[in-house]
Chain A
Amino acid sequence: MDLLEYQGKQLFAKHGVAVPSGEVAANVEDAVAAAERIGYPCAIKAQVLIGGRGKAGGIKIAQDAEEARAYADAILGMDIVGPHGEGPFRVDQVWIEGGSDIASEYYASVILDRGEKKLLAMVSAKGGMDIEAVAAEDPEALVRRHIDPTRPFERSAAREIIAAAGLDEDVRDQAAEVLVKLAEVAGSEDATLIEVNPLIVTNDRDVVALDAKVTIDGNALFRHQDLAEIADTAEDPQEAMAKEKGLTYVKLDGDVGILANGAGLCMSTLDVVAQAGGAPANFLDAGGGSKAEAIVDALTVITSDQKVTAILFNIFGGITRCDEIAKGIVTASQQMDLKLPLVVRLDGTNSEEGLKILAEADLPNLNQETTMLDAARRVVELAEGDG
């Protein structure tokens, strides 16, 4: 789970990392009132889960109330597209914080390195810019050190990294302290990524985190009540509905509804539908051991997306039994009075019984295919025919 900038900064503040004080606002009036309290100049920053906000016009410095109003008005409701085409992300909140005078801009991060199975600390004196470009063009400017997983991360180790990165001597102790605290945030808040860009030095020689990108491990939310609440409010309504029913659902842009069992098979199904020329409307993993009831829930979630014009069931029964899936399809079609064309491919455990149940039910909108590829082609035809 990714945190918004202000949520990340609140987490930093909790662990003693200096951040500018500020307020969050969801409408123009609240934003102006916050700016008045904070004073000018102040920064008005779009709160979206994507980088490149500045370039997209999502960060502005206001010198007075009139500017604060104009910028808040422009930024709230804006759609921001990420540097690699992600999104768009609608801006629902802005963060207003006091303007900082900046003497230097650094970069600091602590991240889980999956390959090495260690936390990795990275520091650069070249902050405030695209760190990927720094890493590519001047790799030595980005100092990387793995944190020994068998020992606590000591100040001396942090200071070595800071010195190697060539940060100004007078702020090295402060910066080392920040790095130790960022590692502490990772460990105690179950963060798998913490990135501060820029980490600034003010004219008064204070080291302050001017930005915060934090990713929290969703599996660890059970031991972080405050973060779990953020996760609940951040969800898409359809995704929340699916989660409540124990299904994994991700909404996409297309018109072919997809239901498969197992994340890998589900991803593979999306790929095969795309190869057949179709556009998947969702990812839905009904999980292992799905029962009839889960199918009713899954169809409810899939059809709540108005764009869906045809639905593909791709089931390979392992622990999941195909006869249970077939019963679920029949029950759901009758209960929901489903008119959309369905393509069903059942294989694996109890597939013969499952196919028999479907044949006996004789649903007019149901099409059976025996292979994944044929099923994908068929559902794409049907989705187009309907659209």
Chain B
Amino acid sequence: MSIIVDKDTKLVVSGLTGREGSFHGLRNKAYGTYLAAGVTPGKGGQDVEGVPIFDSISEAVEKEGANTSMIFVPARFAAPAIDEAIESGVHTVIAITEGIPVLDMLNTYWKAKEAGVRLIGPNCPGVLSPGKANVGIIPAQFFDPGKIGVVSKSGTLTYQIGNELKQAGEGNSSIVGIGGDPIIGSDFIDILSLYEADPDTDLIVMVGEIGGDAEERAAEFIAAEISKPVVAYIAGFTAPPGKQMGHAGAIISGSSGTAQAKKEALEAKGVRVGESPTETARIAVEALRGF
């Protein structure tokens, strides 16, 4: 098995007629993802290399049975596009677009929650289930099918770690890029739960970075709810102390949001944290093989 995307995924891409949208949408199709439709208002009736284009996502759901939406719409129009996807009847929305205003996402987050739609991103590389489906911009060639589930705030860093796992002979059940924005649809905790329930995932690699307290929350959650081994990596130890404005942020989270604080929070709950991507991959492989 795998999580979020698989052989049952029927993908509709908003922005498929755009340069980025068509490049990645068609790459996803070439990988074996079932690309049901594209959506661009005003271009309904056209097609992109045989993939039908509709004016709205609802139409794509109705006529092509699309169940997963990918958003490749420019930032200033992206939140309304995600809202449209949430209301269209798909069960999963994966938003790749970066640079969406955070307060727009705050409203959109609650719309998704209320509708019971799983939102991944924005500002994320998407989700890949090796051998089954790829929705987003993750380069699939660095990942083989296997037993390690990956969840990450970062794109290239994930490819780096995935490649090291592959070279060590291990593969992945799924790779989920949750995005690094302040408000994201699904957090570490949401994805950790999915991996816990996925019979094909034996170990989870979690890649975090400075800012916010999602890693600290994940540490608590892992201790309480996750029985599978988790290995973590945190980027940003040498990030300069930011120009901290006010102190309200630290009061809310009770954490400074630094890489060191996150590492300590995870280690306090028994999660092994690698010093570098290479060491993280090595620890994951060792833990998986029961060393």
**Residues of A that sit less than 8 Å from B by CB:** 2, 49-51, 82, 84-87, 89, 109, 111-115, 117-120, 122, 130-132, 135, 142, 149-150, 186-187, 190, 192-193, 195, 197, 213-215, 217, 219-220, 222-223, 250, 252, 260-265, 267-268, 270-275, 280, 283, 288, 316-319, 347-349, 371-373
Contacts and interface: CB of A to CB of B under 8 A. Distances in A.
Given A111-B252, A280-B238, A220 B101 contact: yes
A114 B99 contact: no
Contacts of B213: 114-115
Contact of B247 (A112, A130, A150, A262): A130
B248 A195 contact: yes
Nearest to B125: A318
A193 B76 contact: no
Contacts of A132: 247, 250-251
B275 interface: yes
28 contacts: A2-B245, A82-B244, A84-B241, A85-B241, A89-B243, A114-B182, A114-B213, A118-B106, A131-B247, A142-B251, A149-B106, A190-B103, A195-B245, A217-B103, A223-B76, A250-B240, A252-B238, A261-B156, A264-B152, A264-B154, A270-B236, A270-B237, A271-B236, A288-B156, A318-B159, A319-B137, A348-B159, A372-B278
Range for the number of chain B residues in contact with chain A: 35 or more
Nearest to A48: B243
Residue in B109, B246, B250 whose Cβ sees the most chain A Cβ within 10 Å = B246
B277 A51 contact: no
B118 interface: no
Contacts of B31: none
Given A111-B252, A272-B276, A348-B142, A264 B180 contact: yes
Interface stretch (B3-11, B63-71, B83-91, B204-212): B204-212
A267 B235 CA distance: 6
Given A120-B252, A264-B156, A51 B246 contact: yes
B75 interface: yes
B193 interface: no
Contacts of A252: 238, 240
Residue in B101, B103, B139, B248 whose Cβ sees the most chain A Cβ within 10 Å = B248
B107 to A, nearest CB: 6
B91 to A, nearest CB: 20
A115 B253 contact: yes
Contacts of A50: 243-245
B242 interface: yes
B156 A316 contact: yes
Contacts of B278: 371-373
A135 B251 contact: yes
Contacts of B276: 268, 271-272, 275, 372-373
